[in-house]
Amino acid sequence: MADTKKLFIKTYGCQMNVYDSERMAEALGGAGYVETGRPEDADMILLNTCHIREKAAEKVYSELGRYKGLKAANPDLRIGVAGCVAQAEGEEIMRRQPLVDLVVGPQAYHRLPEMEARARAGHKALDTDFPQEDKFEHLTSRPKAARGPTAFLTVQEGCDKFCAFCVVPYTRGAEVSRPVDRILTEARDLVERGVREITLLGQNVNAYHGAGPGGETSLAGLIWALNDIDGLDRIRFTTSHPNDMSDDLIAAHGDCDKLMPYLHLPVQSGSDRILKRMNRAHTRDSYLALIERLRAARPDILISGDFIVGFPEETDADFADTLDLIERVGYGQAFSFKYSPRPGTPAAERPQVAPDVADARLQELQALITRQQRARQDAMVGQTVGVLFEKPGRLPGQMVGKSDHLHAVHVDDCAARPGDLCRVRIVSSGPNSLAGVLA
Ligand code: 5AD
Ligand code: SF4
């Protein structure tokens, strides 16, 4: 192998970025890089960025500013920006921050080794194309390193829905599903390396429609195929759109052993007026009816959601509808955000809600959600649940893992090891996790 160089990757944003960072490290592994946790040791620093809200995007520039000294101390250091900010702002990044050598959009990661060589030779390298070839095809070969018990696996990418607030259709491109056989190969490989739980990723994962042996395959079909892999214990998927929650997928939540009783199903707002302005193409009633059908298939399913407050023209009455929807659903987990106007999206041009009004709404909504989350977590006390142990906890002898419902669980004086799936009786509920004993 050529001489070893060190790579420092910092990842922002969603789980897909986490997955992509792993793939980029693999691609650059072939060019002689090993990962380091310290930017000051690195020959190459890569920021894998998020553009979903303004704050997320701004972090990139402040982080880059911090690397000035490193570059002065080590002229051979190369700095790259990947991810959704790279896609959205491309050349602007190089203009604003001249120390950046390389800019690569999410659909061009397989070209990184070439780009790295160009950057090493002293040229600027930029690639924000949406090429036709499958980047994953080029990114999966590599030495078989051992893995922890959980892994992400991207099965679908991009989005054709164009919600009025969202940059994803512009940064990740049109919806594309990977073929079933490639996903199964990757999943088997992960299991061989120690993975017990796979979370299937896609911006619209339940719209998955990949080519399979019997023709086009739905997400439910893919899950059933994964269910047959020996040694794989758990399957999850995220993120779903209410309109793509097909009958076979709802049924799988009742019938498929390895599919966990947890569903992240963002609704964004509980007001039909706002949903329409958001271009969500569903109503509050259709969402509530869907939740009922899911609960009929799997009564203990834990529902998680995303909410945006302060969307343009949101009134107090609209916001009250959102609180009411939350009361009706009873979320086990939820994420909420103040609307952030994104350049190039339709809603950015509309009359904005005053920031103090949006702040107050966000606080009220988060208080309600925290109460619901806590109630759902507290209700686990006394129950016996499956826990996949991931790593030792902070106290000696303690192990931590996740329950079937994705609650964090810790067990003191625990004989289990990372990767063990055990029955655990829950004995108490704290602010951030459940305490249990092996059953
Ligand atoms: N402003 C605030 N939140 C947003 N999200 C997406 N776009 C925006 C935006 N412009 C939220 C949505 C989505 C989650 C990933 O981020 O709730 O589901
Ligand atoms: Fe951020 Fe969305 Fe891009 Fe993920 S897909 S990195 S959350 S903008």
Which DSSP helix (H) or strand (E) runs through 72?
Answer: helix 68-73
Point out the ligand nearest to the CA of residue 84: 2
Residue 57 has a pLDDT of 83
Residue 30 has a pLDDT of 85
For ligand 2, atom 7, name the residue with the nearest CA: 14
Q: pLDDT tens digits for 261-312?
A: 999 999 999 999 999 999 999 999 999 999 999 999 999 999 999 999 999 9
Kindly state the tokens that stand for 72: 């002065």
Quote the pTM value.
0.95
Q: pLDDT tens digits for 322-343?
A: 999 999 999 999 999 999 999 9
Distance 130 CA to ligand 2 centre (A): 16
Q: pLDDT tens digits for 216-238?
A: 999 999 999 999 999 999 999 99
pLDDT band at 259 (very low <50, low <70, confident <90, very high): very high
Does any ligand 2 atom lie closer than 6 A to the CB of residue 47?
Answer: no
Distance 155 CA to ligand 1 centre (A): 21
CA 52 to ligand 1: nearest atom: 7
Distance 51 CA to ligand 2 centre (A): 6
Distance 74 CA to ligand 1 centre (A): 38
Q: pLDDT tens digits for 96-144?
A: 999 999 999 999 998 999 999 999 999 999 999 887 666 776 655 455 6
Distance 10 CA to ligand 2 centre (A): 14
Distance 189 CA to ligand 1 centre (A): 33
For ligand 2, atom 5, name the residue with the nearest CA: 168
Q: pLDDT tens digits for 13-28?
A: 999 999 999 999 989 9
Q: Where are the alpha helices (DSSP H) in 256-315?
A: 272-277, 284-297
Q: pLDDT tens digits for 194-218?
A: 999 999 999 999 999 999 999 999 9
Integer Cα distance of 262 and 341 in angstroms: 30
Residue 138 has a pLDDT of 62
CA 16 to ligand 2: nearest atom: 4
Kindly state the tokens that stand for 98: 């001249």
Residue 135 has a pLDDT of 74
Q: pLDDT tens digits for 53-91?
A: 998 888 999 999 999 999 999 999 999 999 999 999 999
Distance 58 CA to ligand 2 centre (A): 14
Does any ligand 2 atom lie closer than 6 A to the CB of residue 13?
Answer: yes
Integer Cα distance of 40 and 294 in angstroms: 49
Ligand 2, from 21, 84, 165: best to mutate by most atoms within 8 Å of Cβ? 84
Residue 131 has a pLDDT of 78
Integer Cα distance of 369 and 305 in angstroms: 10
pLDDT band at 146 (very low <50, low <70, confident <90, very high): confident
Residue 214 CB coordination number (10 Å): 8
CA 12 to ligand 2: nearest atom: 6
Does any ligand 2 atom lie closer than 6 A to the CB of residue 14?
Answer: yes
CA 266 to ligand 1: nearest atom: 18
Token pair 């600027």: residue: 124
Residue 264 has a pLDDT of 98
The one-letter code for the residue type at 424 is V
Token pair 């009455």: residue: 317
Which residues form ligand 1's pocket by a CB distance below 6 Å?
52-53, 165-166, 266, 268, 306, 308, 337, 339-340, 342
Reported in sequence order, the residue ranges of 155-240 that DSSP labels E, i.e. its strands, are: 156-157, 176-177, 197-201, 209-212, 215-218, 234-238
What's the CA angle centered on 335, arms 331 and 341, to 5 degrees? 140
Longest dimension (CA), the chain: 64
Residue 140 has a pLDDT of 53
Distance 15 CA to ligand 2 centre (A): 9
For ligand 1, atom 16, name the residue with the nearest CA: 52
